Chains A and B, each alone.
Chain A
Amino acid sequence: MIKLAIASALVAGSITAAHAEYPERPINMIVAYSAGGGTDIAARTLAPFIEKYLGEDASIVVLNRPGAGGEIGFTELAQSKPDGYTIGFINTPNILTIPIQRKARYSLESFTPIANVVDDPGAFSVLPSSGIKTFDDLIAYAKENPGKLTYGSTGIGSDDHLSALEFERITGVQLKHVPFPGNADVRTATLGGHIMMASMNISETIADVHEGALHALGQMSNERWDGATEVPTFKEEGYDVIMGSMRGIAAPAGVPEDVVAKLEEALKAAVADPEFQTKAKEQHLALSYMNAAAYKAELESLDATFRELWETTPWVQE
């Protein structure tokens, strides 16, 4: 009788253990970029707020797995166990373009998108002394001086590069692409007058715009970002270019739905937290929360855009 009681107690115990509240151990959050970079800082700022809304014992460990434009970290996330204890930041366009431009060990289907956090629209900026004030000026200049309009981007296949390709496709003008290793170099080269235009995310260029060192022609979002309300969108000016760098959270494909729901809810609350909002403002983070369904749809539509662009203008030539 006692034996039976112990056995049933054990069984009962193990059942409650199996149904223990997620998360019951630390969650790893993979960041596919270096410590100290934009994505890393965003991740480390956000992590404590996700913990706060996941439950009292939740803890999130940020793991940096940089390299190969994010491919190393994305691959690790795609291949990890779909139990909700490994999540990670995925960044557009790299998450989508890497499998398009080379044989990768993951695809968009390898992930379960949970929520988008940041959407930093692209922007075109020029020197105020360049005489180019509007897109019309830009297009006129490019048509009059073929091959003279140089623009800098943060590399082949970056959102800065792809958005310019899309702009060329829509308008039919020819721009000359000059890749740089990072946005700091693009900024320096533009300010120094070595290239004519910077294709750079709005959050990275807005400080110079406010100081009057650069003039932003437009930002590539649906609506003007709070931090740069004076800069028109491309769409308002009649050029339908929507592009930017989205940073959201995903888990490997096959994660239980209740776990996704729980994470989604915690993320929504974390992003809305006033304290997080203040911190995000300090870091010039262009916040844009999207729930799992909307985020998934957005990623799929972007993927289709990139595949179409690749068909007409493959940005990496073999």
Chain B
Amino acid sequence: MGDVFQHILDALPLVFSLGTIIAMIGGTIIGIAVGALPGLSATMGIAVLIPLTFTMEPVVALGMVAGIYNGAMYGGSIPAILLRIPGTPAGIATVFDGYPMAQSGHAKLALRISLVSSSIGSAVSAIALLSLAPPLSLIALKFSAANYFWLAIFGLMTIAVLLSENPVKGLLSACFGLFVGMIGIDMMTGMERFAFNELELLSGVNIIVLLTGLYAIPPAIDLALSPKKPDAEVKAINEEEMAFRWSSLIPVWIRSSIIGVVTGIIPALGGNVAALFAWNEQRRSDADKDKYGKGAPEGVAAPECANNADTAATLIPALTLGIPGSSVAAVILGALLVHGLIPGPQLFRDKAEITYGFMLAMLVTSGLMLILGSVGARAFVNVLKMPTQLLAPMIFVMATIGVFAIHNSMFEVWLMLGFGVLGYAMEKMDIPTAPAVLAVILGPIAEENLRRALLISGEGVFSLFQDVISLLLVALILATTALPLAMKMWRRRRSRIEALASRD
């Protein structure tokens, strides 16, 4: 633990250097704006901006990423409260009470509650990351190839099954990701696979190329085809200050922060799940259930605190084991790799300054968000009036320049645009893109570790079931895949029984 403290002290000067502070402020502003614009998500914002951070010092670049991530989670609540449109999927639960509050003339208070709750959630999450990731990274040493294989399979299954309404579509998307992950030179034998003698494909598809294509291009196409007019007029906010007892929110914050951190650590459960869960839990635990959905301040605080408490926690498995639990964690993993940071225990040792710098930046940006959000409240509300026609070309240009900058390769620009068109088609067919992205990362981890486990033991398939961690993971995989199916069958049977019963 003393080590951790020392590393934090070492990283402080890096985080508080002028460049990093400017980057964090810039990142937070961009994040809030991106989050506030419906259709643009934190994932997209980071994916587009990563390549532009190539030339920056790692801590500066990651400080900006931290700002965007935290900022976007709060930004999503601005249109949720004012327009009833969640800016990001994680803002859905904020609509329930935020919009009614604004309608009854308390928009300013709702925005303030959202901002304060978001900042508190982010701060708790960053502290969880700082205190949990370093000790957990040491456990990574104990992870054998077989454990990694099961962990990757667990990640893949939960994502494919939980992330989509239709598990078949989720699996379809995951299978596409598995295929893309296979392109290139096979690690274990040195053979070329699906490279079609194309030099550019020998080292596989770069994850940033795929992410930019799938996350930046579809919303840009959507915006270009049907630019949304700012139809719902944003009312000027100049109501009277309402007397409000902030201390009444403290239990809400405690409960929601814990919910956010826990859901964050579990793969596949993102900020949207955390927010919905926290809002439900808040209503369940309150004696006065009727006030929810009609403009209860607690109903704004709970989901906003939870979706921000999810942010840094999601990065715990990504930083310690290299297993991203959500698409935004995958993008941030990509950002780390771009700057030569490879997940695992050595990240907290050899690159301690940068890693701790990044984790501290998650904490510092949660505070920055509070300051910038209060100072610039009016300006951020105006983001909603921005003509969306301007956004599409901006995203296209940034994505193209960014991807070209990775390897100075036009081939990758075309590849990115190809993935963009594909991602657009997938969205229109309601096929989720997140399983594909995660499969590109998790697929090779699963494959290599399976083959490595078999190679090391030389005892065949049984070696995969030989230790406690493996068995535990297998049980989790069975539970996550079988439970939703069983629930569905049980519900179907019950409805059939009810149908039969009602016939009598």
Contact = CB atoms under 8 A, between A and B. Distances in A.
Interface of A: 34-37, 63-69, 71-72, 75, 101-102, 105, 147, 150, 155-157, 176, 178-182, 184-185, 187-189, 191-192, 194-195, 207, 315-318
A150 B338 contact: no
B347 to A, nearest CB: 8
Contacts of B339: 36
A192 B187 contact: no
17 contacts: A35-B340, A36-B339, A66-B407, A68-B185, A68-B203, A72-B200, A72-B203, A75-B199, A155-B187, A156-B189, A178-B456, A179-B187, A180-B187, A184-B344, A185-B342, A187-B346, A192-B143
A219 B200 CA distance: 35
B140 interface: yes
A316 B189 contact: yes
Given A34-B340, A191-B141, A178 B203 contact: no
Contacts of A69: 185, 202-203
Given A181-B448, A194-B145, A65 B140 contact: no
B192 interface: yes
B185 A181 contact: no
Given A36-B338, A37-B340, A188-B345, A157 B190 contact: yes
B202 A68 contact: yes
A179 B408 contact: no
A182 B143 CA distance: 17
Nearest to B197: A103
Interface string B404-438: 00011000000000000000000000000000000
Contacts of A72: 199-200, 202-203, 407
Contact of A195 (B58, B189, B407, B456): B456
Contact of B144 (A37, A194, A315): A194
A64 B189 CA distance: 26
Interface of B: 54, 58, 140-145, 185, 187-192, 199-200, 202-203, 338-340, 342, 344-346, 350, 407-408, 448, 452, 455-456, 458
A37 B58 CA distance: 13
B346 A36 contact: no
Nearest to B144: A194
A176 B455 CA distance: 8
Given A178-B455, A184-B346, A67 B140 contact: no
A188 B346 contact: yes
A92 B456 CA distance: 28
A25 B303 CA distance: 58
B458 A147 contact: yes
B141 A188 contact: yes
Given A185-B344, A192-B144, A35 B199 contact: no
Given A65-B408, A187-B346, A188-B346, A316 B203 contact: no
A192 B190 contact: no
Residue among A68, A185, A188, A191 facing the most chain B CB atoms (10 A cut-off) = A68
B145 to A, nearest CB: 6
Q: List the 6 closest A-B pairs by CB distance, nearest first.
A: A36-B340, A68-B202, A156-B190, A316-B190, A192-B141, A67-B203
Given A179-B187, A192-B142, A67 B344 contact: no
The winner among A35, A63, A207 for most chain B CB atoms within 10 A is A35
A70 to B, nearest CB: 10
Nearest to A34: B340
Given A37-B340, A157-B190, A192-B142, 6 more contacts: A67-B202, A69-B185, A185-B344, A188-B346, A194-B144, A194-B456
B348 to A, nearest CB: 12
Given A71-B199, A150-B456, A65 B190 contact: no
Contacts of B345: 188
Contacts of A187: 346
Nearest to B452: A178
A68 to B, nearest CB: 3
Q: Which of B187, B452, B458 has the most CB of A within 10 A?
A: B452
A29 B346 CA distance: 30
A188 B140 contact: yes
A49 B58 CA distance: 23
Given A69-B203, A179-B187, A192-B144, A102 B340 contact: no
Nearest to B458: A147
Nearest to B455: A178
Nearest to A102: B192
Contacts of B408: 63-65
Contacts of B188: 156, 179
A214 B327 CA distance: 37
Contacts of B346: 184, 187-188
A317 B189 contact: yes
B54 to A, nearest CB: 6
Contacts of B187: 155-156, 179-181
B390 to A, nearest CB: 31
Nearest to A158: B190
Nearest to A72: B199
Contacts of B141: 188, 191-192
Nearest to B142: A192
Contacts of B448: 181
A189 B458 CA distance: 17
Nearest to A192: B141
Contacts of B340: 34-37
Contacts of A156: 187-190
Nearest to A317: B189
A192 B144 CA distance: 8
A150 B457 CA distance: 9
A23 B455 CA distance: 53
Contact of A65 (B144, B189, B191, B407): B407
- Considering residues A69, A184, A189, A207, which has the most beta carbons from chain B within 10 angstroms of its beta carbon? A184
B263 to A, nearest CB: 28
A63 to B, nearest CB: 7
A64 B199 contact: no
A72 B199 CA distance: 7
B202 to A, nearest CB: 3
B462 to A, nearest CB: 17
Contacts of A157: 190
Contacts of B342: 182, 184-185
Contacts of B140: 188
A191 B137 CA distance: 13
A101 B199 contact: no
A315 B185 CA distance: 14
B210 to A, nearest CB: 15
A188 B142 CA distance: 9
A22 B187 CA distance: 43
Contact of A71 (B191, B202, B338, B452): B202
A185 B445 CA distance: 12
A71 B199 CA distance: 8
